Structure 1
């Protein structure tokens, strides 16, 4: 009876040790991928009247979740429908005016570093009528 108990206890200990072993020593198990860090561009303006322009740019997914080293082109023209005050970056049938969009430092693109970026933006002084 003692021999049977000893054999059973050895088997139980072996099973427990095998069950508790971690598979990290397995060379076929791939290492988990580290999470990729992403960054964003935030547009700000000092003129409260031009805040809708910054809001439009900040709502676009083109300036969110960017990887380090990515070069991002910034829009240089914005279209406006003066009747509805709708802003777009593309010319539409309802666009009535076109205006130049400027950035601090006269930049037209940025390369993403290892931090979020804030860019000051504003509209030019002159409206160009695109249709009546």
Structure 2
């Protein structure tokens, strides 16, 4: 129903009723006479919505703004980075930059001589602190 009303309004508007200056006004007057007041108001709102939406669409499509969602052109794509062979590494001890040969030597040394173990008293203290933290999560009202 509203599409028929919008077609009627558009047809009258494009036919050039009146002297050219008051095309829209004469179209509105004809619509009110033809359809009744409430229906004409709804049709005019629909027609206005169509005109405004169309204008906005045409104007927004003509704007040539750069796309900001794309990465900068100098950025290397992840697919290419995945295929690169890594020839440098970081030391697991102090984070120092190492070559591949130095990294292999360091890994061999760490496997031969593992890091020293903690004192059993310190290990027990850490275990008790972790146990306390877990118990406080389940029983927050306990203060121990």
Between Structure 1 and Structure 2, the one with more strand by share is 1
TM-score by length of 1: 0.27
More relative contact order in 1 or in 2 (CA 8 Å, sep 6+)?
Answer: 1
Bigger Rg over Cα? 2
Higher helix share: 2
- TM normalised by structure 2 equals 0.26
